[in-house]
Structure 1
């Protein structure tokens, strides 16, 4: 695990995915991007493919994903096409089938970006295994996918795994005694925060396991991006109250407050996946295309929307003991 402190990357809050990948050639590399047909994931797919990578996008609805990515295919030279394969993050058999298909030809996997996610489901919902839906989607499905793809990541001899977290990790640590809200009242934001903390802790634990084999892991906060569909379950009045949309409902763009366009929001995950500046590093939380400092939990109020523009990761999300406990719990839950 590298030091959780900025490295002066040369980029900032307004940098775009195109900025951070400029001059990087991904020819011969393979990337998988979950959530890759909309929002931040789609921008990530676009720039990785344009840099020469073979990009595979898992999707529940293959035809819908192919349609959403059609113009990306049309804009890429040399006939490179983005591939869409069927997979459902809430279906363990589907994840296993996807991984088995990828592993079948022995190809290495150089980049895995776990970008798919859901936010603030208004009511307690469970997956087929009985696990709370946000935790199951945002963490458990990606945990299963990453561990099943492990042989291909090792084969790359220098792979990176990027988990898209959020400043929402400040909303809750992992409540190990009741992850699935069986005994405590359900809260959409506490649930979301717990799942985003899990994304960061997963990167910490994964990096500890992968470092010796050349697999490095990162977690990222992309910023607050209001035109991705992630906020569809948010109460209608909340975005205006928080000052993240204008009176007409259009997104406020103010990178200094973390309010970004999708291409700005995708910058940090692309930077973590491709930047030579991160060679030999891992196990850290990043934002604004740099490694974040550690923020004292007293520096920002733990409520949805508070702390916009305040950069930093809270200690509970990078705690190594909690990361190891989460790994063991996740294996048991699967």
Structure 2
């Protein structure tokens, strides 16, 4: 049964933190993998899951940096992974599968944003799409035996309201025929994250694997915005006149603990038992943005929710097929 793209409601709000949404949940005996788990909301997600008793594995391209970041998360396991290197993804997955552990929670949090110039990986793929979507797509495919062995697993794909910048252009994913624009490429990759969750949930729910995509909020002090100029950040209203991050959860300007809340809620909440394939924000399922709401948003209003093209099941199925071809599955 398809889950309705509408709030439950959960009882949580925009200002909820990861610790608040996981309160009372015991993850002893559960295993979680958190990509990007050594910075920003990924680090907070790893910390909170570990504090609830889960075994937490943090894949890292920079293992030394990861060890330093995770020094206050006792027991967190670090393993090498580079999402732009297919061989590295396969090696990480093979090592995890060899451990014989099931995988109950997979959080796809690692990502890059708005690289200023068109950059391609060794395969010729645009790097935001390759990192944010294809790397995680391949990781899920390779870890599938561990996910199905869990007897109930969740995959959380960290998307963004960046979906509003662009849909997925299946005819020119890698900007071979159109001018490159950093935020169009970012928006395409974030829409891909949301569509991935839709089709993954459809394919996986019969084997107990459910998937969700998440808008965590706008959190400027995570490192994700490293390619943005100070002027661009100020123009977006993300910092004040003194350069300090603006905090206003109602307008999605969140702290890191608030940003991690929806990720953790999707990964662990019993409220989502039997549900999946939906886009979530503010620790609840998001509403669909109506045409009237989209017009109001384009005029500057704060409109919550997800645009229909980012949760369209037909588009999700097409993206899945293309992604399989691109990784050689």
Matches within 5 A, 1:281-300: 281-297=275-291, 299-300=293-294
The answer to whether 1:310 aligns with 2:295 is no
For residues 69-105 of structure 1, give each alpha carbon's deviation from its aligned partner in whole angstroms, at most 9, with x where no partner exists: 00222xxxxxxx0000001000000000000000013
For residues 49-77 of structure 1, give each alpha carbon's deviation from its aligned partner in whole angstroms, at most 9, with x where no partner exists: 0000000000011111011100222xxxx
Question: Does the aligned pair in 1 maintain the 2:296–2:303 contact within 8 Å?
Answer: no
Give the superposed CA RMSD: 1.5
Aligned to 1:249: 243
Aligned to 2:36: 35
Select 1:94's aligned residue among 88, 91, 94. Answer: 88
For residues 202-246 of structure 1, give each alpha carbon's deviation from its aligned partner in whole angstroms, at most 9, with x where no partner exists: 000000000101000000000000110111111221121121101
Report the CA distance shift for 1:148/1:188 in structure 2 as closer, same or farther (over 3 A): same
The answer to whether 1:322 aligns with 2:323 is no
Report the CA distance shift for 1:100/1:307 in structure 2 as closer, same or farther (over 3 A): farther
Aligned to 1:128: 122
Listed as ranges, the gaps of 5+ residues in structure 2 are none
Aligned to 2:71: 70
Select 1:156's aligned residue among 143, 150, 159. Answer: 150
Matches within 5 A, 1:1-334: 1-73=2-74, 81-297=75-291, 299-300=293-294, 309-334=302-327
Structure 2 Cα separation of the partners of residues 100 and 272 of structure 1: 26
Report the CA distance shift for 1:326/1:53 in structure 2 as closer, same or farther (over 3 A): same
Structure 1 Cα separation of the partners of residues 155 and 97 of structure 2: 17
Structure 2 Cα separation of the partners of residues 49 and 128 of structure 1: 35
Report the CA distance shift for 1:61/1:301 in structure 2 as closer, same or farther (over 3 A): farther
Question: Does the aligned pair in 2 maintain the 1:118–1:230 contact within 8 Å?
Answer: yes
237-246 or 321-330: bigger deviation: 237-246
Question: Does the aligned pair in 2 maintain the 1:124–1:132 contact within 8 Å?
Answer: yes
Structure 2 Cα separation of the partners of residues 324 and 136 of structure 1: 18
Shift of 1:306: 8.1
Question: Does the aligned pair in 2 maintain the 1:297–1:315 contact within 8 Å?
Answer: no
Listed as ranges, the gaps of 5+ residues in structure 1 are 74-80
Shift of 1:308: 7.3
Structure 2 Cα separation of the partners of residues 301 and 252 of structure 1: 26
Question: Does the aligned pair in 2 maintain the 1:32–1:111 contact within 8 Å?
Answer: yes
Question: Does the aligned pair in 2 maintain the 1:223–1:259 contact within 8 Å?
Answer: yes
Q: TM-score, normalised by structure 2?
A: 0.97
Question: Does the aligned pair in 2 maintain the 1:258–1:309 contact within 8 Å?
Answer: no
Structure 2 Cα separation of the partners of residues 59 and 157 of structure 1: 27
Question: Does the aligned pair in 2 maintain the 1:9–1:290 contact within 8 Å?
Answer: yes
The aligned length equals 326
SS at match of 2:280: strand
Shift of 1:310: 2.0
